[in-house]
Amino acid sequence: MDLLKKEEELQKGARKVLEKLDLIELLSKHGKPKIVGSVAFRLMTWKDIDIVVIVDKLNKQNIAEISAILIKKSSRRIDFTVTDNRKEDGLGKIPRGIYLGLKYFGDDIKDVSRYEAVKDIVWKIDIHFVLKDSSRSIATIEKIKSQLTEEKRLIILQIKEALIKNKKYKIEIFSIDVYKAVLEKGVKNLEEFKEYLKSVGKNL
């Protein structure tokens, strides 16, 4: 499938998931949610939604209430991960706060019992609850948007598509590395991206 067409279809899918779970409305009861990452930038290559929720106070009870409501809204399967990152140092790309991770099994998945068999088509939703001063994503999102052109969007999509199956992607190498390489250093393809990574001490 054409990458731009694939991105458009993923955007539609993301909107449907958000609507089905009433996720933005639900999160709005506890803070100020902001969709960030590939959905916000129109750079989706897989089923991944990133949301930052700015809160006045980090409260696990609120996250427990959100999870309970989501369980009722999901008629088939939804997996939860909660991680308290408030006291961690050296988190790298992870915002300091409380993380709520969802793996949402859509209606297109017939067998919900075997995650490994269907993990490539399960929706992954990353929700970071952060205090205002800890929100790095909000501070950079408009800058990245302002630098994007249709040509650069396509280059980023091509590189991200090539990275999907790489074991280092999302562990050592992140989408933000691709954005910086293309938008700030003028990288135009995967080979140039590999050279860029070497220049910053990483290897693909």
How many CB atoms lie under 10 A from the CB of residue 178? 25
- Residue 13: which pLDDT band, with cuts at 50, 70 and 90? very high
191, 131: one domain = no
pLDDT at 115: 87
pLDDT at 102: 96
Domain that holds residue 30: 3-136
Q: Which of 195 and 134 is assigned the larger pLDDT?
A: 195
List strand residue ranges (DSSP E) for the chain, in order. Answer: 32-36, 48-55, 77-84, 98-105, 123-131
pLDDT beyond 80 at 161: yes
pLDDT beyond 70 at 39: yes
What is the rounded average pLDDT for all residues in the chain?
91
What lies within 8 Å, CB to CB, of 169 at 6+ separation is 163
Of 107, 136, 165, the position where a domain reaches its end is 136
pLDDT at 90: 45
132, 158: one domain = no
Rounded Cα distance between 4 and 6, Å, is 5
Angle of helix 136-147 versus helix 175-185 axis, rounded to 10: 40
pLDDT at 91: 44
CATH number at residue 73: 3.30.460.10
Per-residue pLDDT tens over the stretch 80-127: 999 998 876 544 556 789 999 999 998 888 888 888 888 888 999 999
What's the whole-number mean pLDDT along residues 155-169? Answer: 95
Pair 96, 88: CB distance under 8 Å: yes
How many CB atoms lie under 10 A from the CB of residue 24? 14
Q: How many domains does the chain have?
A: 2
Pair 44, 10: CB distance under 8 Å: yes
What's the whole-number mean pLDDT along residues 162-187? Answer: 94
131, 54: one domain = yes
How many CB atoms lie under 10 A from the CB of residue 184? 11
DSSP assignment of 51-71, as one string?
Answer: EEEEESS--HHHHHHHHHHHH
pLDDT beyond 50 at 175: yes
158, 75: one domain = no
Structure tokens at 8: 């458009």
Rounded Cα distance between 149 and 157, Å, is 12
The radius of gyration of the chain from alpha carbons, rounded to an integer in Å, stands at: 17
